[in-house]
Amino acid sequence: MTKAPFRVLVTGAAGQIGYSIVLQIAKGDVFGPDQPVVLVMLDIPPMAAVLEGVQMELIDCALPTLAGVEGVTNEEQAFKDIDFAFLVGAMPRREGMERKDLLAANVKIFKSQGRSLANFAKPTVKVLVVGNPANTNALVCAKYAAGKVPLRNFSAMTRLDHNRATAQIALHANVPVANVKNVIIWGNHSSTQFPDARHAKVVKGTIPLWPPTWF
């Protein structure tokens, strides 16, 4: 591979989501089969041994797109010269909680990581915030990285809401999900989210099928 590797950070790499996305990034599903990546995985110090296990598993896969894999527990090393950041590491909801109930625990993580983006990352870094409440954390992170990393480089992961709405329409209409188009999601990745199916297009065989009777 002739391209220079991207340095890609995944935080919370020892957790549920982090563990499932690192392989997809490492094997070329995200940046393409001819783009090498150096994967940098950050977690908190008590998770160092788990992180080392994840690192060993990735090395054992002998993936041609994986130019290097580092497991670290401090932000300076993690954010140094990165091109992309997947900010997953944060507390998840427990029973009875709303995503906004995670603010107290999680906002401080994204303040600190915003500062680390400003201090250590490439100014061209692109950042996807997954840790909840994702939209608020993305805003906090962007605010603390301001002056170094432009606001437009930050996204919050709300795609899941769009996928869920599309999949539910497909289930109700009894069609493959590929037959559902133009679903829109408004609002936050929270209880204020609004799946908007008014402009959706659903096709069964060759027959347009919208709105169905149950809508």
Ligand X SMILES: O=C([O-])CC(=O)C(=O)O
Ligand Y SMILES: NC(=O)C1=CN([C@@H]2O[C@H](COP(=O)(O)OP(=O)(O)OC[C@H]3O[C@@H](n4cnc5c(N)ncnc54)[C@H](O)[C@@H]3O)[C@@H](O)[C@H]2O)C=CC1
Which sign does the torsion angle of CA 38, 5, 81, 90 carry? negative
Q: Which does 119 bind (CB under 5 to 8 A by kind): ligand Y, ligand X, none?
A: none
Q: Which does 107 bind (CB under 5 to 8 A by kind): ligand X, ligand Y, none?
A: none
Q: Are 116 and 78 in contact (CB under 8 A)?
A: yes
Residue with the shortest CB distance to ligand Y: 15
Q: Are 130 and 157 in contact (CB under 8 A)?
A: yes
Identity of the amino acid at 118: A
Please pick, from the candidates 41, 71, 99, 141, the single residue that binds ligand X as defined by CB under 6 A.
99
Q: Binding string, 147-186, against ligand X, x = CB under 6 A?
A: -------------x--------------------------
3-state helix, strand, coil in the chain (%, to 5): 40, 20, 40
| Count of residues of this chain found to bind ligand X when the rule CB under 6 A is applied | 5
Q: Render 90-152 in DSSP notation, one character per residue.
A: SPPP-TT--GGGGHHHHHHHHHHHHHHHHHHS-TT-EEEE-SSSHHHHHHHHHHHHTTTS-GG
Please pick, from the candidates 8, 47, 85, 140, the single residue that binds ligand Y as defined by CB under 6 A.
47
Told to judge if 189 belongs to the known catalytic residues of this protein, a careful annotator would answer yes
Q: Shortest distance, CB of residue 150 to ligand Y, whole angstroms?
A: 22
Q: Shortest distance, CB of residue 56 to ligand Y, whole angstroms?
A: 17
Rg (alpha carbons) of the chain, rounded to whole number? 19
User: 56-95: which residues touch ligand X (CB under 6 A)?
Assistant: 92-93
Query: Catalytic residues, which ones?
Result: 189
> Which residues of this protein are in contact with ligand X, per CB under 6 A?
92-93, 99, 132, 160
